[in-house]
Structure 1
Amino acid sequence: MTRVAETTSTTSEPAHEAPGPQAARSGERQAVADTTAALLTRLSQQTDPTERQRLVDEVVLLNLPVARSLAMRYRERGVPAEDLVQVASLGLVKAVHGFDAERGRDFLAYAAPTMTGEIKRYFRDTGWAVRPPRRLQELRARMAQVTQTLSQDTGRAPTVNELASALQVDADDVIEAMVSGNGYATSSLDAPPDGESGSWADTVADEDTSLASTPDRLALEGMLARLPERERRILAMRFFADKTQSEIGAEIGVTQMQVSRLLSRALRRLRDELEADSGAA
């Protein structure tokens, strides 16, 4: 009889269930918040630089998961996730230095907008491969919000004129802002063009180094025109046809020594005229 009573009493006691994952995470967040608040209070009262830096490091390390979580919201937008985490972490450090513990205990309510602002500023200032003017960046940001609203209302993508009307700007400004988005991420020159072989670099013209000598060539052209015809012919065969002096002599009916003297005389005349022109300039 006693044994039954004991059994009944044991089975009738309410069971204490373990907290669920959500409750556990909530408890962890509260513990982090409480520890952060305590550290920031000590930081506000500390005057020793070394101890202050140690407290700052503790707060930053304690809240780094929040910085990473905020950074991951902006992943897959053309910027490496590691860079975004670093930017958010920098915002966290700024938030720690700028937080006033006497004005409130909710550090994350202050730090989260600071970190988000740093990430958005990073996208605005350094995320562009070809950075457009500030007005186009701001217009693109407004267009993204308006596009979402209009798409929900109409069930389709808004037209350029609809966007211009909603934003109260010209349609040309909307088009310019859309085109500026092409400068956010550029293709590699080593990448093959669409539907073609090779690379974009193959389609880029090489630098024409001969352009620098154009003035000299034009000046030389006029001087050559003033030479006797036979000397012009000898110069052309020697320097353009790459013939030897013997081959030139056989072609025009003179000896190799005569060709040598004619070449020397023509070149000396050209050199003297070039030096005279250079001195006059």
Structure 2
Amino acid sequence: MATSDTTTLLSAELHRPTHREMRAMGKTEARALSDALFARLADLERESAAYSYVRGTIIELNMPLVRFAAAGFRRGTAELDDILQVGTVGLIKAVDGYDHRRGVEFATYAIPTITGEIKRFFRDTSWPLRVPRSLQELYLRVARCSDRLEQTLGRLPTPEEIAEELGLDPAEVAAGLGVGRAYRADSLDALRQDRDDPNGSTLVDRLGACDREFDLTEFREAVRPLLRALPARERTVLALRFWGDCTQAEIAAEIGVSQMHVSRLLAGILSGLRERLADERDGPGGQPPGGSEARSVLPR
């Protein structure tokens, strides 16, 4: 479509371009037509049918802005329709709030408005953790107020400034800001700094390793009464071997028997403990407490 056709489209009959005509327009032609429509819109009464007609034409003409903004937020095919709907709401707000007399191009004004509407959509609906509705609403109030104050102050506002603006207690603002951590989880690989580690370290570096002793707690509790039931000499042999780390020869010298006899004593004691643990049948599938870990602790 030639630029000269713009005058025809803005005739008294308010001819709306067809979908084919809009698709055929280049960016320069669409911008020129949009500017002319905004100028025409400013001269119309808001309650008139002509105003609604021109406004609807502007919205339809600028739908590519919505698709452009939505492309940066698309996470899946199922979400695209929702994002486009929310972006269209942002476009309508931009059309209603735009003043062509300020000399700012409509696209420059509309893109942040559309993007902000989409961001609010994700902020309001994308909670990875279940948070009470009252805290969600508090967080959204605090976050939106923080955004407004940041634009006004040119810096991030303090919690006290947010509290004063909203008429809330600073503790409530702190709670709202804290809930924000449930909305957006931090990466385990993100660097964190504190007084003990000024150079920063990742959270994954601070996570503890698995404690094998913890897994054996239940086993120890199951074995304890069995050990108490052993004769005194057998308890002494076990204590010297596994707690005192003595050799069989050293144990034999301690209790006055041969090394061969100590070997037979240890084999008999451990075999008896294994059999009594198996008889407990406390674990699932007939496993003794502690399962395979328990068996691995009792030498054969």
TM-score by length of 1: 0.52
- The higher relative CO (CA closer than 8 Å, separation ≥ 6) is in 1
- Structure 2 residue ranges without an equivalent (≥5): 1-25, 36-59, 97-109, 283-287, 289-300
Question: Residues 29, 204 of structure 1: CA spacing in aligned structure 2 closer, same or farther, 3 A cutoff?
Answer: same
Q: CA deviation digits over 1:71-121, x for unaligned, max 9?
A: 5xxxxxxxxx8336989964575589x9xxxxxxx9x96999988654422
What does 1:68-87 align with in structure 2 at a 5 Å threshold? 68=68, 70=69, 82-83=72-73
Which deviations, in whole Å up to 9, do the C-alpha atoms of 1:147-167 show, x marking residues without a partner? 577789999987756755653
The match for 2:177 is 178
Cα 1:273/1:160, change in 2 over 3 Å: same
Name the % identity.
32
Residue-pair matches, total:
215
> Quick one: distance in 2 between partners of 1:86 and 1:272?
57
Range moving further from structure 2, 109-118 or 184-193: 109-118
Structure 1: runs of 5 or more not aligned:
1-23, 34-59, 72-80, 99-105
The 10-residue stretch of structure 1 (163-172 or 228-237) with the greater mean CA deviation from structure 2: 163-172
Q: Which residue number corresponds to residue 135 of structure 1?
A: 134
Deviation sequence 1:28-51 (CA, Å, 0-9, x none): 236689xxxxxxxxxxxxxxxxxx
Would the aligned equivalents of 1:67 and 1:89 in 2 still touch at CA under 8 Å? no
Contact 2:66 2:114 survives alignment (8 Å) = no
- For residues 199 and 153 of structure 1, do their structure 2 counterparts lie closer, same or farther at Cα, with a shift above 3 Å needed? closer
Which amino acid letter does the alignment assign opposite residue 211 of structure 1?
Answer: F
Is the CA contact 1:237–1:243 (under 8 Å) kept in the aligned structure 2? yes
3-state SS of 2:72 partner: helix
Report which of the two has the higher share of helix.
1
Work out whether 1:255 is the aligned partner of 2:245.
Answer: no
Do the aligned residues in 2 keep the contact of 1:91 with 1:115 (CA within 8 Å)? no
2: CA distance, partners of 1:252 / 1:223: 22
The letter for the 1-side match of 2:142 is: M
**Match of residue 189 from structure 1:** 188
User: Aligned residue for 1:122?
Assistant: 122
Q: How does 1:41-56 map to 2 (within 5 A)?
A: none
- State the match for 1:29 in structure 2: 31
Which residue is equivalent to 1:211?
Answer: 214
For 1:141, give the aligned amino acid: L
Larger Cα-atom Rg: 1
Deviation at 1:235, TM superposition (A): 1.6
Task: Indicate how the Cα distance of structure 1 residues 90 and 164 shifts in structure 2: closer, same or farther if over 3 A, else same.
Answer: same
Deviation of 1:27 after TM superposition, in Å, equals 3.1
In 2: Cα distance, 1:154 partner to 1:120 partner? 21
Tell me the alpha carbon deviations over residues 224-251 of structure 1, each in whole angstroms, 9 at most, x when there is no partner: 2332333122223333455553453245
In structure 2, relative to structure 1, the CA distance for the partners of 1:94 and 1:263 (3 Å cut) is: same
